[in-house]
Structure 1
Amino acid sequence: MATGHMLILAAAMLTVVAAPLALGLAGVASARPAAGASPATAPGWRITAASTLLYVLAFNLTFFIQELFLVLPKAFTPGLRPTLYHNNHSWEGTNPLAALFQGTGALATLAVGLGCLWMLRHVRPRSNGARLLLFWMAYCGCFMALPQVVIGALSPGSDLGMAMDYLHLGAGARLGASLLALAAMPLLALLLCRPALGMAPAPGNVGRPGARTRFVFCAVTLPALLGSALVIPFRIPREMLEVVIVPVLVFLPGIPWLQAAAWRVRDARAEGAATGWPLAYPFAAVVALLLLFQLVLRPGIRFY
């Protein structure tokens, strides 16, 4: 294995596993109740259910955006005849630009993620559901794109690997790009941590380190785990590795950081609306999207 590949894998293990684990253990050590802190309040199961449904919705919308923007540049390129599916895309014909356009999907999802993150931190919709959907769109957009940079540096046959080959990026440039992507992952997760805690409906949810950790687990970590499993029906039929690996790669680089860092946000404020978390609308949206994927997009839409 090349030295650059070994460095990338070592940096990935440090970023994805060792560092958030160390931060989380530090939080466990500081989780003793402070004098005068608000009593802990259970966040309730409805926020977990709503967050799970909205994670599934955001994940699949983001993946569709990625595939759509992989197809659109090819559709306007002479010699290429692309087809869009619910979980993939393909094309006929040849043009050297096809390799470059394998990077436009990740670029689009990253742009969507950063845009939603900016809106989440500066616009702040009043509706519980709108804020939570915006949170998951920001998360999925960023963490669906950044791991692809690391994979592209390791695998020339991946989407971004093909784009890097077209741009004639050498080993040093690929190493630098992957290290920048790995460095951005904890930064973006930490930027999302405060908005996540801000969705808490009661001061007792965020009043002390243990309460903050518990709220993030119920509102973010557990929904992402459950949602990663519920994403699978949207992705089949496809090779099992492709069905499973993408949800795993979206979960691993960011959720552990959000969970591990929750205890550190000492000035978190509970800004969630006092009203309950509606489930009917997100459930209907998830079912409608599944039907759209399997009945309309699964046969394929030709862009020629």
Structure 2
Amino acid sequence: MSVIVVAVALVLLVGPLVLASMGLLRSPRGEPSTVPAWDRSLTIHSTLLYTLAFNLTFFIQELLLVLPKALTPGLQPTLFHNNHKWVGDNPLASLFQGTGALATVLAALVCMGLLRHARGTTLRLFLVWMAYCGLFMALPQVVIGALSGGSDVGMAMDYLQLAPWVKTVSALAALLAMPLAAMWLARPLLGLADPPSRIATPRSRTRFMFQVATLPAILGTVLVIPFRVPREALEVVLLPVLVAWIGVAWMQAGAWRLDAIETRGMGTGSTRWLLLAVVGLLLVFQLLLRPGIAFY
């Protein structure tokens, strides 16, 4: 357990701080004579798409926690907008507590595959954030599961009777995957720069990453809160903050070192439809899913 705790500290705090410090030390002094203006439309688009992606991914997770239970004799699950529950008893219920994290990882991998061929700024941003949320909702659950048998993935691990060393290796592998996944997704985000001069220098790449990812993740996390209430304050806030921090911290810290980026920035359109989509999803969550949908 102590090994996992040390590794968590390295991945969540030390690693991003060291990488960002290296960027500050190695970046050439001085700025270009002209700095491209802040693309506010891109930041707004990214914020709204992050909000959609987070909540859709969370819905996928909860739905895939419910469906296996609904097909299992003796279990009667109910799906909510921010959780699920079930009545009845079956040993498989513990195993199926891991299907939500598995589903979000699979969804992320599909989006990463689609991203290679996607065109258009809005679609690419959406796929990046879907992949991001799918991975960074699931990977921390593996770490938590290795530490706590009462967590969702922890219950699945205990059902599978995983040895302590297997849990530790799984947690360390998940922690290693976090910065790797973040830096892989950072490239298509930087590739949205239009014109390419926005990411011509290490410092400009750091600036652009803040505009396209870090600030949208912060603002998007605030927008996610209404989708999750009512629930315990810790559950409402902690998960969105954790998901946003783990990956975006590495993206922001390491943007300076990513060069040879293929840019596909095509500009952004109106935010009207994205805003309507966010509001519509909020209404579905609060009016349809909040009372609960029984799968029996």
1:245 and 2:238 matched: yes
Answer yes or no: is the 8 Å Cα contact 2:45–2:268 preserved in 1: no
CA deviation after TM superposition for structure 1 residue 114, in Å: 1.6
Please list the CA deviations of residues 7-35 of structure 1 after superposition, one character each: whole Å capped at 9, or x if unmatched.
11100110111111111111112222699
Counterpart contact for 2:122–2:268, Cα < 8 Å = no
Partner of 1:276: 268
Q: What does residue range 7-26 of structure 1 map to in structure 2 within 5 Å? A: 7-26=3-22
1:220-231 alignment runs, 5 A limit: 220-231=213-224
Letter in 1 for 2:82: N
SS of 1:83's partner is strand
| Conservation of the 8 A alpha-carbon contact between 1:40 and 1:207 | no
Task: Report Cα offsets for 1:241-299 as digits up to 9, x if no partner.
Answer: 111111022112211111111111121233200x3342111101000000000000000
What TM-score results when the alignment is normalised by the length of structure 1?
Answer: 0.94
Match of 1:46 among 29, 41, 44: 41
Q: What displacement does 1:189 show?
A: 0.7
Aligned to 1:181: 174
Q: Partner amino acid for 1:245?
A: L
CA contact (8 A) 1:129 1:278 kept: no
Q: Distance in 2 between matches of 1:277 and 1:214?
A: 22
> Contact 2:42–2:212 (CA<8 Å) still a contact in 1?
yes
Q: Secondary structure at the match of 1:81?
A: strand
Give the deviation of 1:229 after TM superposition: 1.2
Q: Quick check: 1:162 aligned with 2:158?
A: no
Give, in angstroms, the shift of residue 40 of structure 1. 3.3
Q: Which residue of 2 aligns with 1:193?
A: 186
Q: Which runs of 5+ in 2 are unaligned?
A: none
Question: How many residues matched?
Answer: 296
CA distance in 2, matches of 1:142, 1:294: 25
The CA deviation at 1:100 is 0.1
**TM-score with structure 2 setting the length:** 0.97
User: Counterpart amino acid of 2:13?
Assistant: V
1:291 maps to a residue whose letter is: L
**Any idea what SS the aligned residue of 1:252 has?**
helix
